[in-house]
Amino acid sequence: MAQFTAQFKIEGIPRLKKRIKLYNLAGLPIRNFLKDYADEVVKQSKKAVPIDSGRLRNGIQSRPIFSVGRIPNQITVHSFSKHASFVHGVGPKHKTTEPWARTKPHWPPAKPLTAWGPVKSGQIPVYLVQKAIAEKGTPLVPYLIIGAKNSEPKKKLLLKRTALEIELAYKAGRKVL
């Protein structure tokens, strides 16, 4: 009879064991940290956003951190309002203090401006708002960047709590019964 023997050597088992151990120790605390930090950034961003109708503020949300799969390594905070890019601007390089950077002067369409508070109430004619934007542009308020910057102290506290949770889980796993 013919005999077949095969040997397979799997390399990287020590690294795999370390990753599995890290996941068991740190998976839940890291997920909790990222969820809490995302909530804090959303909260601080909602404080920094210019308020007109409230749609811009209500559109700020974070992407959920899933409880299964690999250990997450980032958070994502979005603003789902239609005019968010016109208020926040695009790109990371914006001033985070007043006076704000401004968009290029342009002539905006009248229809979106008619829903704006002072124009809607009749205090300011639409034409004057269009003319002012055509001369000066509109201020860019990077409220998501401001929210992330303002949540740094809370982030440090959350990181300390996460490190303590991981350390306690590690020490509890090392106890010999």
What would the mean pLDDT of 26-50 be, rounded to a whole number? 87
With respect to residue 105, please indicate whether it lies within any of the assigned structural domains. no
Please choose, from the candidates 111, 32, 112, the residue with its C-alpha nearest in 3D space to the C-alpha of residue 67.
Answer: 32
- Stretch among 94-103, 109-118, 164-173 having the lowest mean pLDDT: 94-103
- Cα angle, residue 139 at apex, residues 137 and 140 outer, rounded to 5°: 120
The residues with which 101 forms a beta bridge, in sequence order, are: 140
With respect to residue 122, please indicate whether it lies within any of the assigned structural domains. no
- Size of the chain, expressed as the number of residues it contains: 177
Max mean pLDDT among 55-64, 87-96, 127-136 falls in 127-136
With respect to residue 146, please indicate whether it lies within any of the assigned structural domains. yes
Please tell me the total count of domains within the chain.
Answer: 1
Q: Please tell me whether the overall predicted TM-score, pTM, comes out greater than 0.75 for this model.
A: no
With respect to residue 99, please indicate whether it lies within any of the assigned structural domains. no
Confidence at residue 5, expressed as pLDDT on a 0 to 100 scale = 35
Confidence at residue 25, expressed as pLDDT on a 0 to 100 scale = 76
With respect to residue 2, please indicate whether it lies within any of the assigned structural domains. no
Expressed as residue numbers, the domain containing 158 is: 17-89+142-171
Amino acid letter at 148?
Answer: A
What is the Cα–Cα distance from 25 to 45, expressed in whole angstroms? Answer: 32
With respect to residue 45, please indicate whether it lies within any of the assigned structural domains. yes
The pLDDT > 70 percentage for the chain reads 77
CA dihedral 162, 165, 168, 174 (to 10 degrees): -80
What would the mean pLDDT of 145-151 be, rounded to a whole number? 87
Q: Which residues contact 34 (CB under 8 A, 6 or more apart)?
A: 65, 72, 74, 75
- Using CB atoms within 10 Å of the CB of residue 160, give its burial: 0 to 12 exposed, 13 to 18 middle, 19+ buried: exposed
With respect to residue 137, please indicate whether it lies within any of the assigned structural domains. no
Confidence at residue 177, expressed as pLDDT on a 0 to 100 scale = 46
What is the Cα–Cα distance from 119 to 130, expressed in whole angstroms? Answer: 11
Mean pLDDT of the chain: 77
If one compares 93 and 158, the residue with the highest pLDDT of the two is 158
With respect to residue 106, please indicate whether it lies within any of the assigned structural domains. no
If residue 171 lies in a helix (H) or strand (E), which one and from where to where? Answer: helix 152-174
Please choose, from the candidates 74, 77, 68, the residue with its C-alpha nearest in 3D space to the C-alpha of residue 27.
Answer: 68
